[in-house]
Chains A and B, each alone.
Chain A
Amino acid sequence: MVDATHGGMGTIPAAEVPDVELYHPHSWIEKYVFSQDAKYIAIQYSITALAIGLVALVLSWLIRLQLGFPGVFTFIDADHYYQFITMHGMIMVIYLLTALFLGGFGNYLIPLMIGARDMVFPFVNMLSYWVYLLAVLVLAASFFMPGGPTGAGWTLYPPQAILSGTPGQQWGIILMLISLIIFIIGFTMGGLNYVVTVLQARARGMTLMRMPLTVWGIFTATILALLAFPALLVANIMMLFDKLLGTSFFMPAIVELGQQMSYRGGSPILFQHLFWFFGHPEVYIVALPAFGIVSDLIATHARRNIFGYRMMVWAIVAIAALSFVVWAHHMYVSGMNPNFGFFFATTTLIIAIPTAIKVYNWILTLWRGNIHLNVPMLFALGFIVTFVNGGLSGLFLGNVVVDVPLSDTMFVVAHFHMVMGVAPIMVIFGAIYHWYPKITGRMMDEGLGKFHFWVTFLGAYLIYFPMHYLGLLGVPRRYHDLGTTDFIPPNVATLNEFITVMALIVGFAQMVFLYNLFTSVWKGKLAGGNPWRATTLEWQTPQTPPAHGNFGKDLPVVYRWAYDYSVPGAKEDFIPQNQPPSAATA
């Protein structure tokens, strides 16, 4: 091997990447609890994320109960309502979606899909999970502190976030900020792992352009997250200083309960810049892995190579780069210079181009495909529809003049739930149904899966479509109780009741999913190594579920890209990536 310690930026030919030395556990605890195996870490991440996500789901029911039947559930007073919406948003965006896509799917799929034995820094990877768990526990603890969790809204805007009048002002906000700081530290540990593993641990022949799009999506999203989370970290540390040490980074001179506070001169807008500098890339931190995974689901279940693979890769990179220069479109109503808004509206609309390329390519992949409408495919199709929908309303809101009147209405709620709530969740479900047989060796129940899909998909539409309409009527968001207002017609109340009932039904369908998820571990029918007849390396492991070290004695060698489906002249309608050229057509 070349002298690997002293060189410049040259490359080792892929054939010479050395096999890594694997860490072997010495005890039960090291194997199952403090495991350094990325597959166990992935499962730990996923279960933790789903558990805290369940809390957020219950919170969403409570929010909807209040909106649909105001005054009926008296325990949901205004304070509780704000606490519920804050925790629902924060948990879903950070602790569920980010953690599940990167910590869960990233850990499970990266080493297996690129043909590596494990992540490159297994110990740091283990640490990453435990730090994440600590962040979740600190967050959960805020429910039990005096005053409850913070009710500042998931954006935690100062000055209201740390003033009295906002629920959770004593402990909730402090624990929230600390929990996020811990989360970011833990994520950075994991994130460095994912990126370096993709860079350095690919199997022989696995060039960047032979990687499945899932890996591209997770890889790019991780880089995005590594560079975006520091903005949230800085904002959180500064707000913690303001709250605990009396500095005035964000806090202007302000009167609280008739008392002049000691703050002076701080800038809430500064916080908004920092927050959204993280917050917008965050959308793509969630969306890019979803884009990648859905590409693989569609190609596999339509038995068709992905249309425009190169374009798909370029679009992922382009979206990632652009996502750093659009943050202020969340701040059109902050009183910014109109020219500034114009700049950000332009960059925002430009993002639609690579995104649209991806959507067209998915549809063209389906064109004349041999479409198997199984559960993963249904969810992939559901993603395309919901994502296009949320993307189009994003074009509305990206324009300053349209955004200003709609900004504080339910239209925005409908938009971002469609585009970064429902759409990525569809992919998560699709991915779970798709990779479950690899993870457990058994299939999930198809009938229950289809029930889960149709109720979730149709239900999501019945929830969010009317919500766009409410927004256009001018129904404001963040209101605990609409009361009687002249411009809000009475049918709004009926529609709100309808949405609430739908939300409860969709929530029930998720219980069916959880039942399916847990009982299939022993009740599901045996899957075999490659039930979907897929090409990528994770389906070619000698054991299912893959054993420690993933690939048995020898690492796979890659001879082709990830999308050789229905190749003319081939024996089968798929050719695994590790199949040598001569064997495929013989």
Chain B
Amino acid sequence: MPVTIFFLTFLAVIAGWWLLQQRLHAKPWLEEGVIGEFDGTGAMDMPAAKIGLGLFLAVVGTLFALLISAYFMRMGYADWQNIRVPQILWLNTGALAASSIALQTAQSAVYRRHIDGVRSRLIVAGAFGVLFLAGQFWAWHELTDSGFLLASNPSNSFFYLITGLHGLHVIGGMAALGWVTDRAWRSQTAEPLRLPVEMCTLYWHFLLFVWIVLFSLLTGWADEFGAICRQLLT
């Protein structure tokens, strides 16, 4: 659980930092009157959808933090044997990173109001996304072919569970990306694409970050850290 607690502490710091700007020390019973006389009172300078996405990322982050916690705890039992991760995961990581970069450039194309650039880069990002998913599927295939089945070792079980849940989030993102791409082909200007592309980019960077963390977990680089976390709990 320490990993989850760390993550929630991180969220708490953000929430606390925000709350500090909300004048929680105000004495509302004395502050009768029109708005504008008191600062720190309004909505955030950000569209609601983006805040909603930010919050959703916090929820998804918690989900993966909990999975990592469970992974570390389960790892401490005698039957655990680290899985040998398929080499293709390296390529997949590259594909996801390329997808993320493509979206970043799509976002700057939006800022330059260059609609053709946005369209082509969205397509590239989508293609790399598909490549990533196909690669993940290939990795599963390779593992099952060489006898690393879901239930044969807890490490395997976690591998399929974690890559599967991450993959589901990528698939959800692909649906959103498909919708944005469709809009990009219908739209004459880049302006209406600004928010959707920004949101896709943010989500993609987040998924890439989560993937890198999960990947380092699955390769066993984080084993030492896991041992420390286990010690804290017992």
Give A residues with C-beta under 8 Å from B: 2, 4-17, 120-121, 188, 192-193, 195-196, 199-202, 204-205, 207-210, 223, 226-227, 230-231, 233-234, 237-238, 241, 245-249, 262, 264-267, 270, 273-274, 277, 305, 309-310, 313-314, 317, 321, 324-325, 336-337, 340, 557-561, 563-564, 580-581, 584
Does B25 contact A227, Cβ atoms closer than 8 Å?
no
The CA of A205 and the CA of B151, in the complex, are separated in Å by 58
Q: Which chain B residues lie closer than 8 Å to A202 at the CB level? A: 43
Inter-chain contact B32/A234, CB cutoff 8 Å: no
B214 to chain A: closest CB distance in Å? 14
A-B residue pairs in contact (CB < 8 Å), sample of 14: A5-B194, A9-B45, A11-B43, A13-B41, A14-B35, A16-B42, A262-B151, A265-B80, A266-B77, A270-B73, A314-B24, A340-B234, A561-B29, A564-B32
- Asked if A266 contacts B66 (CB within 8 A), the reply is no
B114 to chain A, nearest CB (A): 16
Within 8 Å of chain A (Cβ to Cβ): is B27? yes
Judged by a CB distance under 8 angstroms, whether B157 is at the interface is yes
Smallest Cβ-Cβ distance to B65: which chain A residue = A230
Q: Which of A233, A247, A310, A584 contacts B154 (CB 8 A)?
A: A247
Q: Are A337 and B234 in contact (CB under 8 A)?
A: yes
Say whether A267 contacts B41, CB under 8 Å.
Answer: no
Complex CA–CA separation, A246 to B156 (angstroms): 12
When A and B form their complex, what is the total count of cross-chain residue pairs whose Cβ atoms lie within 8 Å? 200
Q: Are B62 and A207 touching (Cβ within 8 A)?
A: no
Whole-angstrom CA separation of A328 from B164 in the bound complex: 29
Asked if B227 is at the interface (CB within 8 A of a chain A CB), the reply is no
Cβ-defined contact, A310 with B25, below 8 A:
yes
Nearest residue in B to A562 (C-beta to C-beta)? B28
Q: Which residue of the partner chain, among A11, A199, A210, A324, contacts B28 with CB atoms under 8 Å?
A: A210
Say yes or no: A273-B11 contact (C-beta < 8 A), given A227-B58, A241-B157, A247-B154: no
- CB contacts (< 8 Å) of A264 on chain B: these are 79
User: Do A121 and B77 touch across chains, with their CB atoms under 8 A apart?
Assistant: no
Partner of A267, one of B8, B23, B24, B77: B77
Do residues A245 and B151 form an inter-chain contact, with CB atoms below 8 A? yes
Q: By CB atoms of chain A within 10 A, which of B12, B32, B36, B56 has the most?
A: B32
Cβ of A209 and Cβ of B23 under 8 Å apart? yes
B45 interface neighbour in A7, A336, A563, Cβ under 8 Å: A7
- Of chain B, the residue at the smallest CB distance from A119 is B48
Known: A207-B28, A226-B55, A246-B150. 20 other contacts (CB 8 A): A4-B45, A5-B198, A9-B44, A9-B46, A11-B21, A12-B42, A14-B41, A196-B52, A196-B55, A205-B41, A207-B22, A207-B40, A209-B22, A248-B151, A265-B78, A266-B154, A267-B73, A337-B234, A558-B35, A564-B32
Contact check, A248 vs B73: say whether CB atoms are below 8 A apart.
no
| B147–chain A nearest beta-carbon distance, Å | 15
Q: What is the chain A residue whose CB lies nearest that of B79? A: A265
Choice from B8, B32, B43, B63 contacting A12 with Cβ under 8 Å: B43
Q: Are A321 and B12 in contact (CB under 8 A)?
A: yes
Cα-based distance from A168 to B36 in the complex (angstroms): 61
Given A199-B43, A248-B151, A270-B73, verify A231-B66 contact (CB < 8 Å).
yes
Task: Give chain B nearest CB distance to A158 CB in angstroms.
Answer: 13
Contacts of B5 in A (CB 8 A): 324-325
Given contacts A560-B32, A581-B33, contact A273 B59 (CB under 8 A): no
Shortest C-beta distance, A382 to chain B (Å), equals 28
Residues from 164 to 188 in B contacting A, C-beta threshold 8 Å: 165
Q: How far is the CA of A559 from the CA of B41 in the complex (A)?
A: 12
Report how far A321 CA is from B48 CA in the complex, Å. Answer: 25
List of B residues within 8 angstroms of A277 by Cβ = 1, 4, 66
